[in-house]
Structure 1
Amino acid sequence: MSLVKKFATVASGTLMSRIFGFTREMLMAAALGTGPVADAFNAAFRFPNTFRRLFAEGAFNSAFVPLFAKEIEKHGMDGAKRFSEEVFGVLFTVLLCLTIVMELSMPFLVRYVIAPGFANDPQKFESTVKLAIIMFPYLACMSLAAMMSGMLNSLHRYFAAAVAPVFLNIILIGVLAYAWYRGHDALAVGYGLSWGVMAAGLVQLAIVWIAVRNAGIAIGFRRPRLTPNVKRLLILALPAAVTGGITQINLLINTNIASAKAGAVSSLVYADRVYQLPLGVVGIAVATVLLPELSRALRSGNLKEAANLQNRSVEFTLFLTLPAAAALLVMSEPIVRLLFERGQFSPDATRIVADVLAIYGLGLPAFVLIKAFIPGFFAREDTRTPMVFAGVSVAVNVTLALTLFPIYAAAGIATAEIVAGWVNVILLFYTLVWRKHWGKDIPLLTRIPRLILAAAIMAAGLHYATQWLGHLLASGVPLLVRATTLGSLVIAAMVIYFALAFGLGGANAGMIKRNLKRKRAAASNETEKTAE
């Protein structure tokens, strides 16, 4: 199977999740706007979600996958099963203790860690504490699910892990629809959403658990013990968790800072939801597929294939994300107005969220490149270097956020995030080149400027088109007219970009069809067939 097909498999599941996520956010915006309950729910949900990204997805997709794949190669499926059971026993015990401690400490955590700005509003503070207590067990479910997703990725079974998050959005959409039908007030909606998050965690865990069993590994519970394999995992996982969750670290810190201004937390969340579509569909798909593929190539000593995997992945991600970044930069306000401006979501909220989204557009290529560069370190079992760079990125983010937030509010925090992201990209890329882990690739170096030029011309065309058709995209215009106009602009922009990208030589059919295919040795091919 070619890399592009594997990217497509993961991206299709992620795309489904993002589409349902848009629907969820549209309903939430109408029901809650950027009011106090929206701030409380978003702050409360971000806390377990951040821990999930740090200590589950970041750690296990970065540290667990190479070790699990190594067990399969050395000791077959029986060795992989034994290793996964050892890890499961330790992980389950740690998560149980962590959940109990966090639940008991929630008032303290909300006041001093999650949202200290809420302490001046007793009702918002109390709501945030209660909602966070309901939702925090979601962390345990999703951490165990992340481990099993890593197992599935190593076994080349990508779809179940990619599609499981869809059910979070489906359940929350159901909660919002029921609340609308019954006429619930904002606080009741917040509680309903919190219980929905908890239920979704159980459903997602069940989906990947069943998929792992169907893949031939039935995980049993073992008494938690620090075996050599588990110790190796923990040594790799701690820095990998920090590195893989750098975006989440910044988001948690920024939530803390933004809590000082009413509506800022929700404005950041709504903008984040929109830019997560291209980031998730392209960036996460590439990172998920690239790590096990790169690990396999390096273990077999095929350095040429490893370099080709890295270069083609960067080429492919930029090919798809540069036009998305350009569109977010010049069309943010019509996009936000179409998606969110109804009910409690006012025109003023549209302008604030649109400003944040435009800034995120400038950082989109950086966040995607981070996901393409980091596997180059993790596949070599180097999790320390990216962790150090992540720490530098956090320091840049915090410094700029504290400086800019009093002046520009939510837009200042968004600016801090993207600057920190680009700093991280530069450090990662320079180190890969300096260590000779990134070979010079002439096709890549010649295509990137042409792709940037194609995206810039497309952005200029979109800018003038939105000005010319502004009367059809304004508030008060029927929803169908706005949706049709915006959809037409997006289609026209895609035609222009792809025509320019291929016409200028930034892309060609070979790049899409051939360069992303794995040129694997016969032994590696046989290993893959056996695993599948």
Structure 2
Amino acid sequence: MSLVRKFMTVGGATLGSRFFGFARETLMAAALGTGPMADAFYAAFRFPNLFRRLFAEGAFNAAFVPLFAREIEAGGKDAARRFSEEVFGVLFTVLLIITIAMELAMPLIVRTIIAPGFDVGTEKYEVTVKLAVVMFPYLMCMSLTAMLSGMLNSLHHFFAAAVAPIFLNLAMIVALFYGLYTGADPLATAWYLSWGVLVAGLLQMAVLYAGVRHAGMSIGFKRPRMTPNVKRLLILAFPAAITGGITQINQLIGQMIASTKDGAIAALQFADRIYQLPLGVVGIAVGVVLLPELSRALRGGQIKEAANIQNRSLEFVLFLTLPAAAAIWVLSDEIIRVVYEHGAFNQSMTSTVAGILAIYGLGLPGFVMIKALNPGFFAREDTKTPMRFTFVAVAVNCALALSLFPFFAERGIATAEVVSGWISTTLLFATLIRRGHMDIDKAFVSRVIRLLAAAAIMAGVLEYASVHAAPHISPSSGLLEEIAAVLALIGIAMVVYFGVAFAIGGASLGMIRRNMKRGAAAPSAPVAGDE
């Protein structure tokens, strides 16, 4: 299967999950709006989500996959299974200890880390503590799921791991439907959602375990021991955990600052959900597929092929995210109005969330490029360099968020996150080039300039078209009319962008076709256009 087809497999599954996520967020907006219970739920949910990104997805995608691939290369599936069981025993034990400690310390954690702006003793604070206690075991489920995902990805079984997150959205949608159907108040709905999160974690873990067994691997529990392999994993995992969770770290910092303003946490979350669609479909797909592919090429001594895979992935990212960023910038109001402005979510909330989304759109290419650049370090078992860059980016985010929030509120936090993301992207990109792991030639630069021009032309056309579509996207319009108008605008944007990109040489349909047919191990030109 070609590299692009693998991207499409993971991206397609992720797209399905994101659409269910949209349905979930739309129902949540209708049920909770941006009121105190929405703030409480999102604050409580962000904490296990942060740990999931830090100690599960980030650490295992960066540290576990290259080591697992090395075991397969050296000793076959039996050696890889033994390594997995060693890791599983240690991981399960550590997670159990962390979960118990966090549950006992949750009141302190909420008032110092999760939401220091919530007044102790208020209903919002008390509810946040209780919801966080219910949801924190989700971390344990998802960390074990991340290990199983890493095994499947290394065995080139990408679909099951990519489709598993759908269960979280389905469980939360069921909880929301039940709350809306029974006329539950926001507090009861928040409780339903919290238990839905825990159930979803168990379901995802069960699905991934079945997938691993179907792939010909079975792992059991072994007494935790600090073997050389486990020690090597921990050495790689700690900096990788920090690096992989940069977005979540920045968002947690933003949440801490935003907790001083009612509704700010929920507004940031609603905007985050929209831009997570292209970030997830493109960025996560590239990151998930690229790491095992690079690890395999480097283990086989195929240095040029590894550089080729890295370059093609970066061009693929830019080819798809530049138009997405431009469309989000122009259509932020229209998108938020159609997706969220129902029930408890009013026009004033639309204006706030749309402003945040437009800023996030400017950072989208940078955030997605991070997903494509990090594997260039991780596949070489270098997790410390990206970690250093993460510290720089987080420091910038903290300084900017604190400086801008008093003047621009939620928009200031979004701006800080975007600037932080672009700084991290620039440092990663420059270092890979300096070390000779990427070869950026004049043809690549020329294609990127042409793609930027195509995205700019598309944005201009979209701005003009949105003025004429405005009467069909207003409070007086029906939902179906609004959806049809937004879909028409998106259709126009796609036709203009791809038409211009192909016409001016930023992309080549023939080259994309050839790359989809060609195996990843075969040398090939970039997907975004001819040399």
- TM-score range (shorter-chain normalised) is over 0.9
| Residue identity opposite 1:213 in structure 2 | R
1:198 CA displacement? 0.3
1:72-112 per-position Cα deviation (integer Å, ceiling 9, x unaligned): 01011110000000000000000000000000000000000
**For residue 438 of structure 1, what is the aligned residue in structure 2?**
438
- Is the CA contact 1:333–1:351 (under 8 Å) kept in the aligned structure 2? yes
- What letter matches 1:391 in structure 2? F
Determine helix, strand or coil for the equivalent of 2:345: coil
**SS of 1:433's equivalent?**
helix
Q: In the alignment, residue 261 of structure 2 is paired with which amino acid?
A: K
TM-score of the aligned structures, taking structure 2 as reference length: 0.97
Please report how far the alpha carbon of residue 510 of structure 1 lies from its aligned counterpart in structure 2 after TM superposition: 3.6
Partner of 1:224: 224
Q: What is the total number of aligned residue pairs between the two structures?
A: 522
- Corresponding residue number in structure 1 for 2:299: 299
Alpha-carbon displacement from aligned partner over 1:293-327 (angstroms, at most 9, x marks no partner): 01111111111111110111111111111111000
CA contact under 8 A between 1:86 and 1:222: conserved in structure 2? yes
Q: Which moved more, 1:465-474 or 1:191-200?
A: 465-474
Contact 2:111 2:120 in 1 (8 A): no
Does 2:319 match 1:319? yes
Give the counterpart letter for 1:168 in structure 2: L
Runs ≥4 in structure 1, deviation > 3 angstroms? 515-519
* CA distance in 2 between partners of 1:436 and 1:71 (Å): 27
**Partner residue, 2:254:** 254
1:376-414, Cα deviation, whole Å (9 max, x unpaired): 101111000000000000000000000001111110000
Normalized against structure 1, the TM-score is what?
0.97
1:20-31 matches, cutoff 5 A = 20-31=20-31
Deviation at 1:436, TM superposition (A): 1.2
**Counterpart of 1:116 in 2: which secondary structure?**
coil
**In 1, Cα distance between equivalents of 2:316 and 2:60:** 25
2:286 is aligned with 1:279: no
Distance in 2, Cα, partners of 1:405 & 1:347: 22
Q: Is the 8 A contact 2:2 2:520 kept in 1?
A: no
Residue 350 in 1 paired to residue 350 in 2?
yes
**Alpha carbons 1:37, 1:190 under 8 Å: kept:** yes
Contact 2:18–2:277 under 8 Å retained in 1: yes
Structure 1 residues 478-498: Cα deviation after superposition (integer angstroms, max 9, x where no partner): 111111111111101100110
Amino acid at match of 1:458: M
Alpha-carbon distance, 1:121 to partner: 6.5
Which residue identity does 1:93 align to in structure 2? T
Alpha-carbon distance, 1:340 to partner: 0.3
Query: Which amino acid is the alignment partner of residue 520 of structure 1?
Result: A
The residue aligned with 2:521 is: 520
| Contact 1:90–1:224 (CA under 8 A) maintained in structure 2 | yes
State the alpha-carbon separation in 1 of the partners of residues 9 and 341 from structure 2: 33
Q: Distance in 1 between matches of 2:435 and 2:176?
A: 51
Distance in 1 separating the partners of 2:281 and 2:364: 12
Q: Where does residue 451 of structure 1 map in the other structure?
A: 451
Distance 2:404 2:465 in 1: 32
Q: How does 1:350-499 map to 2 (within 5 A)?
A: 350-499=350-499
Map of 2:53 onto structure 1: 53
Report deviation, 1:520. Answer: 2.5
Aligned to 1:96: 96
Query: Alpha-carbon deviation of 1:521?
Result: 7.0
- What is the CA–CA distance in structure 1 between the aligned matches of 2:38 and 2:371, rounded to whole Å? 30
Quote how far apart the aligned CAs of 1:25 are.
Answer: 0.3
Q: Aligned-pair distance for 1:437?
A: 1.2
Work out whether residues 99 and 136 of structure 1, in 8 Å CA contact, stay in contact via their aligned partners in 2.
yes
Q: Give the equivalent residue in structure 2 for 1:529.
A: none
Hey, what's the Cα distance between the residues in 1 that align with 2:211 and 2:119?
Answer: 44
Matched residue, 1:133? 133
Supply the distance in 2 between the matched residues of 1:337 and 1:519 (Cα, whole angstroms): 42
Name the SS for the 2:118 alignment partner: helix
- SS of aligned partner of 2:218: coil
Distance 1:233 1:316 in 2: 30
The 3-state SS of whatever aligns with 2:117 is helix
Q: How far did residue 441 of structure 1 move? A: 3.2
Asked if the contact 1:312/1:515 (under 8 Å) is kept, the reply is: no
Q: Distance in 2 between matches of 1:352 and 1:120?
A: 27
CA offsets 1:113-171 (integer angstroms, 9 cap, x no match): 00011125711000000000000000000000000000000000001100000011011
Tell me if the contact between 2:3 and 2:520 (Cα under 8 Å) persists in the aligned partners: no
Structure 2 partner of 1:165: 165
Q: Matched residues in 2 for 1:509 and 1:262: separation?
A: 49
CA contact 1:311–1:441 (8 Å) conserved in 2: no
Q: Tell me how large the CA RMSD over aligned residues is.
A: 1.1
Query: For 1:249-292, what per-residue CA distance to the aligned partner results, in whole angstroms no more than 9, with x for missing partners?
Result: 11111111110000000000000000000000000000100001
Q: What's the CA shift for 1:519?
A: 5.3
Separation in 1, partners of 2:381, 2:485: 49
**2:219 is the alignment partner of 1:204:** no
